[in-house]
Amino acid sequence: MVASVGRGSNDDVSRYFAITTNQFFRAPSLSNFPYLYYTNFAPCRYGPIAIAVSRNGMKICSTCTHYCYGGYVNELDMNLLAEAVSESPWNVVLVENFTLEELIGRIVNVLREYRETEKPIVGINKAWGRNRLSFLYADLIKRLCSQGVGVVDATEVLVDVFDKSFEEELPIIRWISDTASKALQAVEEVLRPGIRECEVAAIVDKVLDENGIVDRWFTTMVVSGPRTATPHAKTSARRISPGDPVVVDLGPMWMGYDGCIAYTFIVGQNEYWQRVLEDVVEAIRTGLEYVKPGIPVRILDEAPRKFLQSRGYLDYPHLTGHPIGGFYKPVIAGFIEYKLEPGMVFAYEPAVYLPGKGGVRVEPHILITSHGHQILTEYHRRLFN
């Protein structure tokens, strides 16, 4: 079987092998390719792109691609390929002249190498997360089918493997959370009337970069004043005014492990927005009372929404929370049926948005422990102790 992941620890890979060989297919298969590495720009960083599983073992591959100009690979490309090979713990497969035909050829070669039955199988990942199949790969799937490759739904297998963290991965999540907290602290120290949103975003990125987190899974968002009424607006050059709410939302990512934290600062004195901020914090506290193993996830969505509605606010138009670290669970929404389990990590983001006025969003990182939960982002911890 061949399946893609955005990152993976040794335990991730071992569990994947055990599940696929014992519970899933007895033939090779392939899921989507979420990351393609262009040697013109950067080497492989985020871990395996494909895992080929057979009865006799596994072959783990990253993919390093480039465009072939004039029919040859230039020296720069080859140097970057060498760097990719040296940095990646996996086998690196070079895809020259990146075209659909070339990519299909490479995939089919991997499938045939591990072929145990007459018909290889392509397993498709349809779950939550950045590794799910994109419609952009529809042509790829069609062409593989024309090569005699079968297509099945591999979502359940992948979710079983990547639903939550292992102990060896928690220090990474904690480090990302601590670093993001440092970035919020840096914002608190410099935030003042007259500074521009883009300048604040630069401070956030500087702290993350200097601490070794140079990647983002979304561009740092700093939004102020009435613009905060839009849930996920883009940073602008707007100058921050006295009394403004300022939403700072950052998405640090390291080796495929991501975070998503937010806080709303009130610049100077503004009793109205301070009261809204306190209500959002209280809504989060209300939800946290239920956060422990065995609790249905939907309760974590229902509790803060009901609290904020009781205070007269409009319902917020997004999930109450989502997994971090690149994992698949838990998605905090009213339509989710599963329960919380130890090891799950997620961002929790009840919010208030007032059209034409502004908004408040606070988003800590939460870890489900064996007996309850822990707030991983130190900057938020002081709010709930």
The pLDDT tens digits for 319-372 are 999 999 988 889 999 999 999 999 999 999 999 999 999 999 999 999 999 999
Contact indicator for 330, 253 with CB cutoff of 8 Å = no
Q: Which residue has the higher pLDDT, 302 or 51?
A: 302
User: What is the third-level CATH fold of 2-162?
Assistant: Creatine Amidinohydrolase; Chain A, domain 1 (3.40.350)
Listed by start position, the domains of the chain span: 2-162, 167-384
* Mean pLDDT in residue range 202-206: 98
pLDDT bracket for residue 135 (50, 70, 90)? low
Q: Which residue has the higher pLDDT, 45 or 15?
A: 15
- In this prediction the pTM is 0.74
pLDDT bracket for residue 142 (50, 70, 90)? confident
**What sections of the chain are H helices per DSSP?**
10-23, 75-87, 100-113, 138-146, 155-162, 170-190, 197-210, 271-288, 297-310, 378-384
Contact indicator for 65, 38 with CB cutoff of 8 Å = yes
Q: Does the domain formed by 167-384 have CATH 3.90.230.10?
A: yes
Q: Which residue has the higher pLDDT, 40 or 295?
A: 295
Backbone angles phi, psi at 278, to 5 degrees: -65, -35
Q: What angle do the packed helices 155-162 and 10-23 form, to 10 degrees?
A: 140
Q: Which residue has the higher pLDDT, 250 or 384?
A: 250
* Mean pLDDT in residue range 289-302: 97
- In the predicted structure, residue 201 carries a pLDDT above the cut 80: yes
- Report d(CA 238, CA 289) in Å as an integer: 38
The tokens of 7 are what?
């990152």
Task: Choose from 138-142, 230-234, 274-278 the range with maximum mean pLDDT.
Answer: 274-278
Q: Which residue has the higher pLDDT, 242 or 6?
A: 242
pLDDT number for residue 51? 43
Give the helix, strand, coil percentages of the chain, each rounded to 5.
40, 25, 40
Across all residues in the chain, what is the average pLDDT? 78
Of 79-83, 142-146, 159-163, where does mean pLDDT reach its minimum? 79-83
pLDDT number for residue 94? 62
* Mean pLDDT in residue range 180-185: 98
Q: Which residue has the higher pLDDT, 225 or 167?
A: 225
pLDDT number for residue 115? 57
The tokens of 120 are what?
């290889």
Q: State what percent of residues in the chain have pLDDT above 90.
A: 53
